[in-house]
Amino acid sequence: MKKRNTILLLGITSIIILTSVQVLIIRGIWKQKNEMFSLKYTMGAQEALYFINRRMSTDGFDTVRFVLSKYSEQANRELRMIKDTALLNQKKKEIFEFFSYSLNKEQDLSEMLAKYFELRGLEKKFIYTIVINDLDLITDDTVSIIHSARAKLPARPGIIEKMAAVDYAKSRILVNWFQMEDNYYRLRFDYFIDFSDKQKLILRESAAFLGMSIFSIVVVVIIFIIAYRNLIEEKRLSNLKTDFINNMTHELKTPLSTITVAGKTLEMPQVITNEEKILETARMIGKQSVHLNQLINMILEISMWERSQFELDKKNTDVGDLLNDIVDSFSSGGGSNATINKKYDLNGLKAELDPVYFTTMVNNLLSNAVKYSVNEPVIDIEGFRNENSVIFRVSDNGIGISKTDQKHIFDKFYRAQTGNIHKFKGLGLGLYYVKRIAEAHGGNVSVSSKPGKGSTFTIDIPY
Ligand code: ADP
């Protein structure tokens, strides 16, 4: 148990470690791909700007430059007329918004960039953002600061660029910063692009790796589960074998010790002269030898069955007659204390059966029904025809079988873990025999039972 838990713990720990390592690797790769993506598009955009500049002699802001030039001359004039601070601020805000709006609306750069990206086989669906950093309206003698990003940042040299970079670097890619200037205004702004499909594009690129990694985790988990289940199964079988050897020793010892005691009894002077005592002891020795012989034969037979295919000697048998014989001889033998109700009326139904093995099979069920009962055993035997098969049912009013044990009782050497294992003697082979014999006849056996209420074994044999 301890060993099994250690193995389970080790297995789960290694799976967790493996998964964590994979997650770390995937995160690293994802980050790298993300950076590569940004780099690819930054470089692509830089190239595009260079290309646009050289080929078309524009930076993509010619239209907006014209619009702003006209507007700023007028705005400057109006601004200088306002004396009230509140109104002045209001006007500055208005000017800033106009600049912002025009820059976003009238620029041609985005379209040119998209075309260039398409030409280069890059993704062309992006969102652009223009962020104004500084805007001043100027005349010959005055400078009106409309907007200053720098003014809003802490006045510590060196930190400004860094902070600005942190602000925008998350998912946007900075294509370039621009400066525009004419007689009436001075403007500095950044142009960013952003890909809403970026995660999807990166996912597509890393799909193969992700798939492999998930696949390898799944494979390891499956291998572990299979190995662990095998281990448990082996452990269970080895426990069963140990139990079997213990039970077997116990079973063999009982007749042997009786024979030993009987032998000693025969040597006693008062017995040697008593003919009746000698006969009684000899009969006992004979009975125990038969029992011993039966036990040994059973073991030999089991090992023979394991090695070779089960061979039946099938005969066309009257099923009802055979059942009568079995029940009668059982009642006069080991089952004398049991009430057996014959609930079959097979109307001379004949089936291809091996009468010897069939008898062993039914006998095993009957003797279990007697063995595993605490009160006086009442056993019902049913037999009826069902489409292409004959169904036999042996029900008892015994101790019943738990759900967990029901799964294993037909396994070789399996014995239910009843409190006192030697209270009910056995080797865990009876039901294994029943199953093997039923299967050899092309049929099967099943159980339904409730602890404390009794059990019903059903055998289904085609005819
Ligand atoms: P054995 O009787 O030698 O232990 P079997 O293969 O005949 O081996 O039965 C396997 C186990 O199934 C038994 O140990 C017992 O716990 C349970 N069992 C079998 N038949 C009955 C029954 N009629 N009622 C209750 N338990 C049963």
What local confidence, expressed as pLDDT, does residue 169 receive? Answer: 45
Q: Which amino acid is at 176?
A: N
Cβ–ligand 1 contact at 432 (below 6 Å): yes
Cα–Cα–Cα angle for 286, 288, 290, rounded to 5 degrees: 70
Residue with tokens 């109006």: 78
What is the 8-class DSSP label of residue 274? -
Which run of H or of E encompasses 316? strand 315-318
For residue 165, is it within any domain? yes
Check if the beta carbon of residue 68 is closer than 8 Å to that of residue 180.
yes
Cβ–ligand 1 contact at 398 (below 6 Å): yes
Alpha helices in 170-274 (DSSP H): 198-267, 269-272
What local confidence, expressed as pLDDT, does residue 336 receive? Answer: 78
Question: SS3 string of 147-186?
Answer: EEHHHHCCCCCCHHHHHHHHHHHCCCEEEEEEEEECCCEE
Q: pLDDT tens digit string along 404-447?
A: 999 999 998 888 875 445 567 777 888 998 999 999 999 999 99
Cβ–ligand 1 contact at 360 (below 6 Å): no
What's the gap in Å between 333 CA and the centre of ligand 1? Answer: 20
Cβ–ligand 1 contact at 410 (below 6 Å): no
Per-residue pLDDT of the chain (463 residues; tens, 9 = 90+): 667 788 888 888 988 998 899 889 888 988 888 888 888 998 999 999 999 989 888 888 989 999 999 999 899 888 888 888 899 889 989 999 999 999 988 888 999 999 999 998 888 889 898 989 899 888 877 777 888 876 554 444 444 444 444 444 467 888 888 999 888 899 999 999 988 778 888 888 888 888 998 898 899 899 999 999 999 888 888 888 888 888 888 888 888 999 999 999 888 888 888 888 899 999 999 989 988 888 888 778 777 776 666 688 899 999 999 999 999 989 887 777 889 999 998 888 889 999 988 998 999 999 999 999 988 999 999 999 888 899 999 999 999 999 999 999 999 888 887 544 556 777 788 899 899 999 999 999 999 999 999 999 999 999 7
Range of the domain at 70: 59-196
Determine the Cα–Cα distance for residues 155 and 149; give it in Å rounded to an integer. Answer: 11
374 phi and psi angles, rounded to 5 deg: -100, -30
For residue 269, is it within any domain? no
**Positive or negative, the Cα torsion across 418, 423, 427, 431?**
negative
What is the 8-class DSSP label of residue 348? T
Which run of H or of E encompasses 371? helix 355-371
Closest atom of ligand 1 to 427 CA is 3
Cβ–ligand 1 contact at 366 (below 6 Å): no
Q: pLDDT tens digit string along 159-193?
A: 444 444 444 446 788 888 899 988 889 999 999 99
For residue 211, is it within any domain? no
* Radius of gyration (C-alpha) of the chain in whole angstroms: 47
pTM above 0.75?
Answer: no
The string over 226-238, giving b where at least 16 C-beta atoms fall within 10 Å of a residue's C-beta and e elsewhere, is: eeeeeeeeeeeee
What local confidence, expressed as pLDDT, does residue 294 receive? Answer: 81
Question: Which residue puts its alpha carbon closest to atom 21 of ligand 1?
Answer: 368
What local confidence, expressed as pLDDT, does residue 183 receive? Answer: 87
Determine the Cα–Cα distance for residues 443 and 362; give it in Å rounded to an integer. Answer: 14
Q: Which of 137, 169, 196 is the last residue of a domain?
A: 196
Check if the beta carbon of residue 298 is closer than 8 Å to that of residue 360.
no
Q: Which of 177, 196, 215 is the last residue of a domain?
A: 196
What is the 8-class DSSP label of residue 387? T
| 129: region left, alpha or beta (phi > 0 left; psi from -120 to 50 alpha) | beta
Residue with tokens 């960013």: 192
Alpha helices in 407-453 (DSSP H): 430-440
Q: Which amino acid is at 3?
A: K
What local confidence, expressed as pLDDT, does residue 382 receive? Answer: 94
Q: Which amino acid is at 114?
A: A
Determine the Cα–Cα distance for residues 435 and 413; give it in Å rounded to an integer. Answer: 13
Residue with tokens 């962020």: 131
For residue 115, is it within any domain? yes
What local confidence, expressed as pLDDT, does residue 307 receive? Answer: 67
Residues 6+ apart with CB under 8 A from 241: 413
Determine the Cα–Cα distance for residues 383 and 250; give it in Å rounded to an integer. Answer: 36
Q: Which amino acid is at 252?
A: L
Cβ–ligand 1 contact at 443 (below 6 Å): no
What local confidence, expressed as pLDDT, does residue 160 receive? Answer: 40
Closest atom of ligand 1 to 416 CA is 16
Q: Which of 132, 165, 196 is the last residue of a domain?
A: 196
CA dihedral 146, 178, 180, 67 (to 10 degrees): -80
**Positive or negative, the Cα torsion across 400, 405, 407, 413?**
negative
Cβ–ligand 1 contact at 431 (below 6 Å): yes
Cβ–ligand 1 contact at 381 (below 6 Å): no
Check if the beta carbon of residue 187 is closer than 8 Å to that of residue 180.
yes
Task: Out of 363, 375, 401, give the residue to mutate to test ligand 1, the one with the largest number of ligand atoms within 8 Å of its CB.
Answer: 401
For residue 33, is it within any domain? no
Please tell me whether residues 321 and 453 are part of one structural domain.
yes
List the CATH number of the domain containing 385.
3.30.565.10
For residue 306, is it within any domain? no
Number of structural domains the chain divides into:
2
Cβ–ligand 1 contact at 399 (below 6 Å): yes
Burial label for 173, CB within 10 Å (0-12, 13-18, 19+), is: buried
CA 128 from centre of chain: 45
Integer angstrom CA distances of residue 400 from 331, 382, 392 = 22, 19, 19
For residue 412, is it within any domain? yes
What local confidence, expressed as pLDDT, does residue 237 receive? Answer: 83
Question: Which residue puts its alpha carbon closest to atom 8 of ligand 1?
Answer: 428
**Positive or negative, the Cα torsion across 182, 138, 192, 158?**
positive
CA 423 from centre of chain: 41
What's the gap in Å between 449 CA and the centre of ligand 1? Answer: 12
What local confidence, expressed as pLDDT, does residue 167 receive? Answer: 46
What local confidence, expressed as pLDDT, does residue 166 receive? Answer: 40
What's the gap in Å between 177 CA and the centre of ligand 1? Answer: 87
Check if the beta carbon of residue 426 is closer than 8 Å to that of residue 449.
no
What local confidence, expressed as pLDDT, does residue 197 receive? Answer: 79
Determine the Cα–Cα distance for residues 411 and 431; give it in Å rounded to an integer. Answer: 8
For residue 171, is it within any domain? yes
Question: Which residue puts its alpha carbon closest to atom 12 of ligand 1?
Answer: 409
CA 199 from centre of chain: 29
Residue with tokens 């239209």: 63
Determine the Cα–Cα distance for residues 2 and 235; give it in Å rounded to an integer. Answer: 12
Cβ–ligand 1 contact at 251 (below 6 Å): no
